[in-house]
Amino acid sequence: MSVPWQPARDSRGLLLVRAKPGPVSGWVRRGLVACDVVPLGEWTALLPAERSSRARAPYDDAVTVLAGRPVPLRLRPSIGVFVIDHRAVVSLQAKGFRAGHRWLVWEPENGPLRTPGLDPARPPELVAAAHSRTSPSAVHAVLKDGSGDALRYLRRVLEVLSLPGGDLLAPSDHPRGQVVAPTAQAVARFESRMAEQAQHRAELEES
């Protein structure tokens, strides 16, 4: 299922998945965020096509929902770069059953921030996931630099990792690939699951 393209002007970021567009599009349909699916050689880029996800609040922000969604093993590795609240966020999901979701959060002038509760994405892991020949020390130098704004920082991260998609971070009035939307069934399943969890929490509080 595809939808008419609607530019997400306020959204910034993309998720790079090392898989072909077909399987990636199927994964998008089972999610909550309509995405512009762009083939980039060995990678497929996903960009939010709309400002909001198809779910209700508090799961309605397309960028944060896409950034936090677990990528299945068959589609990994994946590397995401996002601008959220003027901060740069880098997400990493490597191959392997024990490879969890890893993060790097960066703030202008301050550089990388401590993120208690989130596993950090380290330079050697990013290099391995990107299949890059860049040295981890070169990646570390870019990651710790606090100069510039979040968008510029993310472009430097992609460049040092020899990853495509830096040009896709700029806003555009035209789609870059096929826009794929979640199915109504996928959204309904998510909403039902969240409602059940909310009811369970309410029952626990009452007891």
Whether 123 contacts 102, CB under 8 Å: no
At residue 11, the pLDDT reads: 52
Which has the closest alpha carbon to 65: 48, 44, 88?
48
Q: State pLDDT tens for residues 28-83.
A: 999 999 999 999 999 999 999 998 999 999 999 999 999 999 999 999 999 999 99
Q: Is the pTM of this model over 0.85?
A: yes
Q: What is the residue-wise DSSP string for 56-103?
A: PTTS-BHHHHHHHSPPPGGG--EEEEEEETTEEEEEEE-SSTT--EEE
The SS3 call for residue 193 is: helix
Question: Two tokens at 27?
Answer: 């994964």
Residue 200's pLDDT band (cuts 50, 70, 90): low
Q: State pLDDT tens for residues 71-118.
A: 999 999 999 999 999 999 999 999 987 788 999 999 999 999 999 999
Question: Two tokens at 20?
Answer: 């072909």
Which has the closest alpha carbon to 103: 81, 82, 118?
118
Whether 90 contacts 79, CB under 8 Å: yes
Domain boundaries defined on the chain: 13-206
Whether 136 contacts 59, CB under 8 Å: no
Which has the closest alpha carbon to 47: 77, 102, 9, 92?
9
Across the chain, mean pLDDT equals 90
Instruction: Count the alpha carbons within 13 Å of 123 in the hemisphere toward its beta carbon.
Output: 15
